[in-house]
């Protein structure tokens, strides 16, 4: 059975369309006006082996917060819809990802209740980029992205940067570690025989 979902999120601040295939090959085809965010989504897909396509736009004349947070929400909702009743999945996963001087850890549980703990150790200073002023990434939106994701996906998500110097490396290691943790959690457990991985018998209530 295909595990594919499409999410449309249109508000007075953002216009987002995303299509997700949990059992993809790592292809990212998202049109994104924030270069660094686009780079992170591509890394997320590559390491999670998720296929993601669509487009993102929003009120960047205000700042990047609305678009980054709403992208996290929409991506989380896509995971929630693609997983359905969560039957047969491992449900939980974790990964520790090294990136040069940085070490990031991510753990996730698709237990049906949203909760985020994010100790990113990111400075909050924007990452400078060429082009328009909006192309410099506002690093203080990283936690907003993952808060939105956890809310949309109805998952517990714990993210910790254990050490690091470069904000670029910290954020990229977070996206890669989380992609790997999610990949493990949504994988089909061959021993589960399609059962719901919960003593409650449901993960959607």
Q: Can you tell me the distance from the alpha carbon of 137 to that of 139, in angstroms, rounded to the nearest whole number?
A: 6
Q: What is the pLDDT of residues 43-80, one digit of tens each?
A: 999 999 999 999 999 999 999 999 999 999 999 999 99
86 pLDDT more than 90: yes
The pair of structure tokens assigned to 73 is 């929400």
**Per CATH, domain 4-186 is 3.40.50.620:** no
pLDDT over 70 (residue 130): no
Q: Where are the domains of the chain?
A: 4-186
CB neighbourhood size of 191 (10 A): 7
- The pTM of the full predicted model, rounded to 2 decimals, is 0.96
Each residue's pLDDT tens digit, 185-204: 999 999 999 999 999 999 98
- Rounded Cα–Cα distance for residues 78 and 59 (Å): 22
Measure the CA–CA gap between 84 and 35, rounded to whole angstroms. 32
pLDDT tens for residues 102-124? 999 999 999 999 999 999 999 99
């Amino acid at each position: 059975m295909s595990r594919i979902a499409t999410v449309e999120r249109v508000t007075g601040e953002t216009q987002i369309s995303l299509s997700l295939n949990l059992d993809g090959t790592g292809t990212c085809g998202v049109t994104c006006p924030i270069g660094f965010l686009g780079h992170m989504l591509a890394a997320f897909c590559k390491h999670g082996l998720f296929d993601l396509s669509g487009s993102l736009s929003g009120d960047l004349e205000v700042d990047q917060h609305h678009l980054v947070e709403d992208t996290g929400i929409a991506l989380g909702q896509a995971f929630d819809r693609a997983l359905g009743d969560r039957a047969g999945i491992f449900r939980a996963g974790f990964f520790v990802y090294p990136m040069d001087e940085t070490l990031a850890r991510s753990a996730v549980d698709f237990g049906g209740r949203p909760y985020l703990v994010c100790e990113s150790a990111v400075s909050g200073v924007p990452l400078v980029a060429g082009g328009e002023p909006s192309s410099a990434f506002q690093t203080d939106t990283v936690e907003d992205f993952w808060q939105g994701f956890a809310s949309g996906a109805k998952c517990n998500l714990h993210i910790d940067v254990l050490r690091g110097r470069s904000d670029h490396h910290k954020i990229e290691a977070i996206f890669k570690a989380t992609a790997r943790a999610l990949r493990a959690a949504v994988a089909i457990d061959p021993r589960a025989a399609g059962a719901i991985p919960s003593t409650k018998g449901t993960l959607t209530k």
